[in-house]
Structure 1
Amino acid sequence: MQLEVRPDPAEVGRARRWARSRLAGSGIRPDEPLAETLVLLVSELVTNAVVHTGRTAVLRLSLPCEAADEVPVRLEVADSSPRVPLPRLADGEETGGRGLALVDGLADRWGWSRDGGGKRVWCELDRCERDEARLACGGGVRYEGCESPDGFEGFEGFGGLEGLAYEAV
């Protein structure tokens, strides 16, 4: 399933609604934590594409059937900008700069790769039913296929985000 997203901030809301509408046949109830986390991750990655590239992006969502609980939910946002997604820690009152930190804290795995002249940013969520079960499924981030801004393989992202709090409003 995929959705083309125009470079307009209003598209972020449309992407969230589209993602929610796709949950119906997946066995993920709209009120469960996994659904809320997925929609928040859609919002963050689409916002990054819209705000930082100014180009059209493609949102892809892989929702395995109900019977495939061991298969993670995968979200990808591809765009044609060669601009590297640079994680940063925003200072106190800044209103932006926390998107990839949020992805890092919520996704079980995430990364990015070059895609033609652009890039593809992706994340995965394991389909565990409760927060305790998510930890048992290996909660915590593993960086796969990431590149550093300098092109070094194995970019470790944020590491050590202890003490940061995230609030979704």
Structure 2
Amino acid sequence: MQLLQVQLEVGADPAEVGRARRWVRTRLAGSGIQADEPLAETLLLLVSELVTNAVVHTGHPAVLRMVLHGGEEQSPGTVRVEVSDTSARPPAPRHADGDETNGRGLELVDGLADRWGWRPEGAGKAIWCEIDRCAAAAGGVGVSGFDGVGGYDNVAFEAV
């Protein structure tokens, strides 16, 4: 099954988070994930958190990537979202108490994604998360083409 990797450069302005969400919506529609599906809403929230963290905590541009199944029909598998930034500092999950307005981002990612993590990338890092598209319907299905180490076979690329 062919996978599609799409990429968007995100500026250092926090207003870019909204542009990233709009971009994700259009890419999801092309993969058979409709805007009103819970999966789409979850992915948009994850993208918002990861892009916001990258832009706010580094003050530099970031790169948003999504890896998903191509084609118009709904297909099983995993959707992967990655955001790379220029900071080599590892993500630091924390627990926000009571009325604190910050500090819930990675907790949210941990609660919504099936898996998440980070890895060094160039002089910075990439933080990624994955959602299994058909886990609820089929009890969990692995990714066709994902080699388990971060590589994909049969991948098409689009860079914006």
Which TM-score bucket, shorter chain as reference? Answer: 0.7 to 0.9
Kindly report which structure 2 residues correspond to 1:44-123, keeping only aligned pairs within 5 A, or say none: 44-66=49-71, 69-123=75-129
Query: Structure 1: which 5+ runs fail to align?
Result: 139-143, 146-169
What is the aligned partner in structure 2 of residue 40 from structure 1?
45
Work out whether 1:2 is the aligned partner of 2:1: no
**Deviation by residue 1:6-62 (Cα, 9 ceiling, x = unmatched):** 111101111111101111210111100000000000000000001111111000011
Higher share of residues assigned strand: 2
- Contact 2:32 2:75 (8 Å CA) reproduced: no
Equivalent residue, structure 2, for 1:27: 32
Q: Deviations over 1:76-101 (max 9, x none)?
A: 00011112110000011011100000
Question: Hey, what's the Cα distance between the residues in 2 that align with 1:95 and 1:51?
Answer: 14
TM-score normalized by the length of structure 2: 0.79
**What secondary structure, in the 3-state scheme, does the structure 2 residue paired with 1:110 have?**
strand
Which AA in structure 2 matches 1:39?
Answer: L
**Two-structure CA RMSD over aligned residues (Å):** 2.0
CA distance in 2, matches of 1:15, 1:83: 23
**Identical positions, percent:** 66
2:137 corresponds to which residue? 133
SS of equivalent to 2:103:
coil
Q: Unpaired runs of 5+ in structure 2?
A: 1-5, 142-147, 150-160
